[in-house]
Amino acid sequence: MLTFTVRRLLYGVLLLFVIVTLAYLLLYAAAGNVARTILGPTATQATVALKNKQLGLNTPLISRYFSWLGHALTGNFGSSWFTNQAVTTAILTRLTVTLTLVFGAVIVSAVLSAVLGVWAALRGGWVDRFIQVFTVLGFAIPGFIIAVFLVRFFALGTHWFKPTGYVPLTTSFSGWVSTVTLPVIALSIGLVAGVAQQVRSSVIDALRQDWVRTLRSRGVSERSVLFKHVLRNAGGPALSVLALSFVGLLGGAVIIEEVFGIPGLGQVAVLATSEGDVPLVMGLVVAIGVIVILVNLAIDLLQGFLNPKARIS
Amino acid sequence: MFRRKWPGVAAGAALALLGPLVLGGCGSSSSSSSTLTLGVITPATTFEATDMNWGNESPYNQAVYDSLVQASPTGVIEPHLATAWSYNAAKTVLTMTLRTGVKFTDGTPFNASVAAENLEAFQKGTSNNASDLAYMASATAVSPTKLVIRLKQPDPAFLTYLGEAAGSQESPKAWKSPTASTVPVGSGPYLLDPKATVVGSSYVFTANPNYWDKAEQHYSKIVMTVYTTPTTVLDAVEGGQVNAANTFDDTTIPQIKDAGFTVYPLQLNWAGLSLFDRSGKMSGPLGKVKVRQAINDAFDRTALLKDMSDGYGSVTTQVFPTNSPGYESSLNSYYSFNPAKARKLLAEAGYPHGFTLAMPSITTAFGETTYALIQAELAQIGIKVAYTDYQGSTIFTAILAPKYPATYFTLEEDPVPWQLAQFLLTPTATFNPFHSTSPTVAGYLNTMQTGSSAQAAAAAKALNQYLVQNAWFAPFFRPQSSFVADSHTSVRVQAGNAVPYLWNIEPKP
């Protein structure tokens, strides 16, 4: 397992190097005249030239790249060209916000999927059909449409929640709840739909197994059969789907944060990319790349833990 | 047995989940009267005074810095850190008397030496307004309260600039600080709270307890929240999350009014064609006045206003704004939609079958429709427009190179005629890439620069008339932009600025 972990980590570092190199080159190809973007149409050509020099854009691309890489290896990602904030500070202050939404969505999805999936599998009939329709709708409707609907009805209509912004948990619990609930729901619905279907199928499969009939014939209670045996067996595949969705949720958060005006990684990623804020975008590429690599590694290890057949020694 | 309990368990879980949410929702309330929540549409590029931008970023500057002078809402220059000033007869030496007893928030006293150093640093900085001090030759402190500024040549807009970013005063200790760009040290009415601020999203300011002019300090706290889309601004307005806000466009104005907000309309720009190549270096036809006049006659401005700006704004054929001494109301309709006349003018100029006009486009900013409308209207008189589309700021590089004889754009209208001239009209103006001039234009510009106020105003008016008659531009309309405020907030809009000056936003009694 240790060899496997080390090998995956080394592979991750190599992958990250390739990603950042490509991202750096693509960014400069698409960035245009960054100094002009920063200064706007009113600035004179002389001021724009001075700004370009100040940003180091008068040196060759290759030397800029190696200079950036050298600093990045020491943990110095520079400062945003558009806000002058240190890139590490900009990312760390927003990372907690985005992770709050993503973890919130994973937890809500796990609970609701388990409830709905098990309920559909056990009750069948109209409950099953209703949940099936719900999951299809959950798949079909994009998260941002759900987000707009939630803002219109539950923020602007009922005033139960805030339509925009984010209040940290450390500032106010009720404020935090009123700002994260709708984004978490908007992020969760698609995921709930997918995982609930997985739970339903797995539970139905498990309930048909001989060992369940054996347990029942031995007088084991239905509650014990479900919680101790069936769910444990059915939970593996659902957990895999949920874990793999974590990375997808990071992408989904980009749109959701835009709709709700939440100062997370997604919002800053959209703005920084459209402006050509190279230091900030590169910091984001590294941060998100590291998260994706670590999550994938964690999934591999988790699958190995749950299913010995999946272990690679 | 457990089957029947599931709905109950689910309902209980749902209640447990929703309980605090509903309570949280009930706990929400609008800002107190001592807190101003201001919606802004751009983050602060920097808080370092020497590099700060103006316009949409002016509230950040005005919260933490004092400027040497202040402009009233109509643009009249009034005392601030400078209490009095005078020019010599040649208008090349400005002597200012400075206020005493003012200290920066780090305890450093403000004086003429500090002011001189600030001006020189701004001149060498990278603000988008750095060229505001282009005519300054030197700034010298002759005593702690006496500042002498020498100009290379008269600059009628110089005092206006000293009331904007160029006149902002920062503590000299902050110049060497590595945190100068994120932690400002000024003498202004508010202090940035870096801990409560999320750079790029939300900026929190608290009242400076030692501020020298309490009359300008209307709130104990100001929160400037950055919104990046028209929808999020509307959501914040409808959700009562802002007291006042700048807006992106006019598409949401009806809903904003429905939310009980007052809309303060502004006309800060003009939209239309800049016919840069007035001597025909790149496009021979544009060098002829009749061709440029024909282009002006080709546009149905009322229809363009409706199609391009939802009818918000007013049609015009001049580039001087209504609050400029150079403005002349009759020039709003000097050209009218008359394709037949336009074709006749083209024929008289030697182009009976029209010609091809190359122009840049930036559809990501102005939309496909805008360019299609312009193309269609010019096609009616035989001018075929060939667009090259650009992304982002690369279009400015192309325009200013210059790579095109003309372009569509929305450009700012400065209320001070000399400001407008420096941007659009002088041979070295940023948006005069072919350096167009003529003896008549040069004469008017000279009077505007060196004459008395009355002479300068008359020259500006005459220059405006000349520019319209000789069709230097083909303006369509002045689009409306809007600042909005709730019923608890009083606002006085600022001539020539997208956002009211901070001290002109206050709670209603």
- In tens, the pLDDT along B256-293 reads 999 999 999 999 999 999 999 999 999 999 999 999 99
Assign A139 a pLDDT band (cuts: 50, 70, 90). confident
What is the distance between the alpha carbons of residues B319 and B64, in angstroms, rounded to a whole number?
Answer: 34
- CB within 8 Å: A42 and B2: no
H helices, E strands: number in chain A = 13, 0
3-state secondary structure B356-422: EEEEEECHHHHHHHHHHHHHHHHHCCCEEEEEEECCCCHHHHHHHCCCCCCEEEEEECCCCHHHHHH
Q: Which residues contact B57 (CB under 8 A, 6 or more apart)?
A: B42, B44, B45
Q: Is A54 on the interface with B (CB under 8 A)?
A: yes
Average pLDDT over every residue of A230-241: 77
- Chain A residue numbers with beta carbons less than 8 Å from the beta carbon of B127 are 39, 47
Q: Is A56 on the interface with B (CB under 8 A)?
A: no
Assign B19 a pLDDT band (cuts: 50, 70, 90). very low
- Chain A residue numbers with beta carbons less than 8 Å from the beta carbon of B13 are 111, 115
Nearest-by-Cβ selection for B25 from A51, A178, A223: A178
* Residue B30: DSSP 8-state: P
Task: Give the model confidence (pLDDT) of B425-451 as tens digits.
Answer: 999 998 999 999 999 999 999 999 999
- CB within 8 Å: B21 and A161: yes
- CB within 8 Å: A122 and B129: no
Q: What are phi and psi of A54, to 5 degrees?
A: -60, -35
- Looking at chain B, the whole-number percentage of residues with pLDDT higher than 70 is 94
- Rounded to the nearest angstrom, the minimum Cα separation between A132 and chain B is 17
Within 10 angstroms of residue B311's Cβ, the number of other Cβ atoms is 13
- The single residue listed with the structure tokens 């907030």 is B489
Q: Which residues contact A147 (CB under 8 A, 6 or more apart)?
A: A182, A183, A186, A255, A256, A259, A260
- Rounded to the nearest angstrom, the minimum Cα separation between A195 and chain B is 17
Using the predicted structure, report yes or no on whether residue B9 has a pLDDT greater than 80: no
Torsion sign over Cα B461, B465, B467, B468:
positive
- Chain A residue numbers with beta carbons less than 8 Å from the beta carbon of B182 are 84-85
Task: Give the model confidence (pLDDT) of B64-120 as tens digits.
Answer: 999 999 999 999 999 999 999 999 999 999 999 999 999 999 999 999 999 999 999
CA-based R_g, chain A, Å: 24
Assign A307 a pLDDT band (cuts: 50, 70, 90). low
- CB within 8 Å: B24 and A271: no
- Looking at chain B, the whole-number percentage of residues with pLDDT higher than 90 is 80
Nearest-by-Cβ selection for B392 from A79, A165, A276: A276
Q: Is A220 on the interface with B (CB under 8 A)?
A: no
Torsion, Cα of B483, B486, B489, B494 (10° steps): 10
Touching B: A residues 260-289, CB under 8 Å = 260-261, 263, 267-268, 270-271, 276
Strand partners, B103: B109
- CB within 8 Å: B25 and A161: yes
Nearest-by-Cβ selection for B126 from A33, A40, A51: A51
DSSP notation for B81-137 = SEEEEEE-TTS-EEEEEEPSS-B-TTSPBP-HHHHHHHHHHHHHS--TTGGGGTTEE
- CB within 8 Å: A47 and B241: no
Average pLDDT over every residue of B406-422: 93
Task: Return the pLDDT at A34.
Answer: 82
Assign A207 a pLDDT band (cuts: 50, 70, 90). confident
Task: Return the pLDDT at B25.
Answer: 35
Average pLDDT over every residue of B120-140: 90
Torsion, Cα of B162, B163, B166, B168 (10° steps): 110
In sequence order, what E strands does chain A have? Answer: none
- Chain A residue numbers with beta carbons less than 8 Å from the beta carbon of B238 are 156, 163
What is the distance between the alpha carbons of residues A252 and A104, in angstroms, rounded to a whole number?
Answer: 13
Q: Is A36 on the interface with B (CB under 8 A)?
A: yes
Task: Give the model confidence (pLDDT) of B40-53 as tens digits.
Answer: 999 998 999 988 88
Q: Which residues contact A140 (CB under 8 A, 6 or more apart)?
A: none
Q: Is A124 on the interface with B (CB under 8 A)?
A: no
- Chain B residue numbers with beta carbons less than 8 Å from the beta carbon of A94 are 198
Average pLDDT over every residue of B367-390: 95
Q: Is A39 on the interface with B (CB under 8 A)?
A: yes
- CB within 8 Å: B235 and A177: no
Cα of first residue to Cα of last residue in chain B, in angstroms, is: 65
Strand partners, B40: B226
- Of B240 and B129, the one with more pLDDT: B240
Nearest-by-Cβ selection for A82 from B45, B47, B430: B45
- CB within 8 Å: A41 and B431: yes
Assign A131 a pLDDT band (cuts: 50, 70, 90). confident
Q: Which of A90-99, B8-17, B273-282 has the least mean pLDDT?
A: B8-17
- CB within 8 Å: B23 and A174: yes
- Of A209 and B502, the one with more pLDDT: B502
Task: Give the model confidence (pLDDT) of B483-500 as tens digits.
Answer: 999 999 999 999 889 899
> What is the count of residue pairs from A and B with beta carbons less than 8 Å apart?
187
Assign B191 a pLDDT band (cuts: 50, 70, 90). very high
Task: Return the pLDDT at A74.
Answer: 92
What is the distance between the alpha carbons of residues B408 and B299, in angstroms, rounded to a whole number?
Answer: 13
- Chain A residue numbers with beta carbons less than 8 Å from the beta carbon of B130 are 43-44, 47, 50
| Tokens linked to A177 | 């709840």
- CA-nearest residue to B5 within chain A is A119
| Tokens linked to B485 | 């405020």
- Rounded to the nearest angstrom, the minimum Cα separation between A148 and chain B is 10
Tell me the three state secondary structure of residue B411: strand
What is the distance between the alpha carbons of residues B115 and B166, in angstroms, rounded to a whole number?
Answer: 11
Using the predicted structure, report yes or no on whether residue B1 has a pLDDT greater than 70: no
Assign B197 a pLDDT band (cuts: 50, 70, 90). very high
- Rounded to the nearest angstrom, the minimum Cα separation between A225 and chain B is 11
- CB within 8 Å: B182 and A85: yes
Q: Which of A47-61, A164-178, B444-458 has the highest mean pLDDT?
A: B444-458
Using the predicted structure, report yes or no on whether residue B502 has a pLDDT greater than 70: yes
Using the predicted structure, report yes or no on whether residue B20 has a pLDDT greater than 60: no
- CA-nearest residue to A112 within chain B is B10
- CB within 8 Å: A123 and B6: yes
- CB within 8 Å: A41 and B3: no
What is the distance between the alpha carbons of residues B425 and B319, in angstroms, rounded to a whole number?
Answer: 11
Using the predicted structure, report yes or no on whether residue B418 has a pLDDT greater than 60: yes
- CB within 8 Å: A37 and B393: yes
Assign B126 a pLDDT band (cuts: 50, 70, 90). confident
Task: Return the pLDDT at B11.
Answer: 36
The pLDDT mean for chain A works out to 86
Within 10 angstroms of residue A124's Cβ, the number of other Cβ atoms is 11
Torsion, Cα of B74, B76, B82, B86 (10° steps): 170
- Of A304 and A23, the one with more pLDDT: A23
- CB within 8 Å: B238 and A223: no
Nearest Cα to Cα of residue B286 among B386, B404, B376: B404
Average pLDDT over every residue of A141-145: 86
Assign B141 a pLDDT band (cuts: 50, 70, 90). very high
Using the predicted structure, report yes or no on whether residue A221 has a pLDDT greater than 90: no
Task: Return the pLDDT at A2.
Answer: 77
- CB within 8 Å: A178 and B130: no
The pLDDT mean for chain B works out to 90
Task: Return the pLDDT at A170.
Answer: 86
- Chain A residue numbers with beta carbons less than 8 Å from the beta carbon of B232 are 164, 258-261
* Residue A228: DSSP 8-state: I
- CB within 8 Å: B25 and A158: yes
Q: What are phi and psi of A219, to 5 degrees?
A: 85, 15
Amino acid at A177: V
- CA-nearest residue to A162 within chain B is B239
Residue from B390, B396, B423 to probe the interface with A (highest A Cβ count within 10 Å): B396
Task: Return the pLDDT at B485.
Answer: 97
Task: Return the pLDDT at A258.
Answer: 87
Strand partners, B66: B169
- Rounded to the nearest angstrom, the minimum Cα separation between A3 and chain B is 42
What is the distance between the alpha carbons of residues B134 and A44, in angstroms, rounded to a whole number?
Answer: 10
Q: Which residues contact A79 (CB under 8 A, 6 or more apart)?
A: A85, A86, A87, A279, B181
- Are B267 and B479 in contact by the 8 Å Cβ rule? The answer is yes
Assign A36 a pLDDT band (cuts: 50, 70, 90). confident
- Rounded to the nearest angstrom, the minimum Cα separation between B51 and chain A is 10
A184 burial class (0-12, 13-18, 19+ CB within 10 angstroms)?
buried
Q: Which residues contact B228 (CB under 8 A, 6 or more apart)?
A: A258, A261, A267, A270, A271, B41
* Residue B337: DSSP 8-state: -
Strands B262-266 and B244-246 turn out to be unpaired
Q: Is A165 on the interface with B (CB under 8 A)?
A: yes
- CB within 8 Å: A33 and B235: no
What is the distance between the alpha carbons of residues A202 and A209, in angstroms, rounded to a whole number?
Answer: 11
Nearest-by-Cβ selection for A258 from B202, B228, B412: B228
CA-based R_g, chain B, Å: 26
Task: Return the pLDDT at A309.
Answer: 59
- Rounded to the nearest angstrom, the minimum Cα separation between B364 and chain A is 11
- Rounded to the nearest angstrom, the minimum Cα separation between B340 and chain A is 36
Average pLDDT over every residue of B226-234: 91
- Chain B residue numbers with beta carbons less than 8 Å from the beta carbon of A271 are 200, 228
- CB within 8 Å: A33 and B392: yes
- Rounded to the nearest angstrom, the minimum Cα separation between B396 and chain A is 7
What is the distance between the alpha carbons of residues B457 and B452, in angstroms, rounded to a whole number?
Answer: 8
